[in-house]
Amino acid sequence: MSRLLRCVPAAVAALALAAVLAGCTEDLAPGVDPAQVDAVEAPELGACRVLTLDDIAQPSNATKVVDCTDPHTAMTYAVGSLPEELEDVAYDADELGAFVFERCTTKFAKLLGADESLAMRTVLTWAWFRPSENAWDEGARWYRCDVVGGGDQTQELVDLPADVKGLMRRPDDQWLVCAAGPTVAGSVKIPCSEAHDWRAVSTIKLGEPEDPYPGDRVSEVTTRDYCSKSVGAWLGYPVDYDYGFTWFHEPEWVAGNRRSVCWAKTSQ
């Protein structure tokens, strides 16, 4: 009798737990994999997913994996563990972004077969994810880098080919970044295979990894002066030409970026 009495509450509890879990699963957004939501183990390298612009703006991601021969907008190209010195930092600490920036950027360029400059002039970008806060509290300390078909200045993410390795060794305009609009600032970034007004033609390196931020004014003026000459050379030194430039502020510098981008006014 005593065993039976103990088993009945256990069964009821199990049913209640199942109901709760079922309810939680139903509350998940479409396309989310419940097994990935609070996963402590590192994600799968080489996995493909259909991500959106909203997805890549989030710190963590649990979108279901799809076959890479099917339509997809993202592919995981790097997975790793955070170093010991970062294990106790806050979930949203700046140090995490700085560490991952170097890893994701280097491997992104290697994946595409691009140098540092060309990697900044492609419509392809990368996004990184960390574990969920629940998984972080459980001790998960991995990071995931995804190559994606667009970024925060494009209107949407485009589908990737089944294999992106070496895609920029002989770059096609489909994967080079251009812009549509009267000025570079605030313009929509699009593939150069589409009608455009501006083309990203070069970049300038403003400092080394260990250098402090030079300040807004120095960054802007240095970029402007370099881009004026660089774009003129790219266009063949015409008498009159228009150029633009994109320079980044201290938050991007802290995250690891050291380059500005030069744009030529052209429809070709």
Band of the pLDDT at 81, cuts 50, 70, 90? very high
**Cα–Cα distance between 226 and 203 in angstroms, integer?**
9
pLDDT (tens digit, 9 = 90+) per residue, 136-175? Answer: 999 999 999 999 988 766 788 999 999 999 999 988 999 9
Indicate if the pLDDT at residue 107 is higher than 90.
yes
Q: How much is the pTM?
A: 0.81
Q: Give the percent of the chain with pLDDT over 90.
A: 76
Indicate if the pLDDT at residue 189 is higher than 50.
yes
Q: How far is CA 198 from CA 37, 62, 191, 220, in A?
A: 40, 36, 11, 19
Cα 39 to chain centroid, rounded: 20
Residue 88 backbone dihedrals phi, psi, to 5 degrees? -105, 10
Give the full edge-to-edge strand order of the sheet including 259-265.
Answer: 188-191, 177-180, 198-205, 259-265, 243-246
Q: Which of 33, 28, 27 is nearest to 64 (CA)?
A: 33
Q: What per-residue confidence (pLDDT) applies to 188? A: 85
Letter for the amino acid at 212?
P
**Cα–Cα distance between 21 and 26 in angstroms, integer?**
9
Q: What per-residue confidence (pLDDT) applies to 5? A: 30
Q: What per-residue confidence (pLDDT) applies to 7? A: 32
Q: Which of 215, 205, 10, 201 is nearest to 105 (CA)?
A: 205
Q: Return the bridge partners of 48, or none.
A: 66, 75
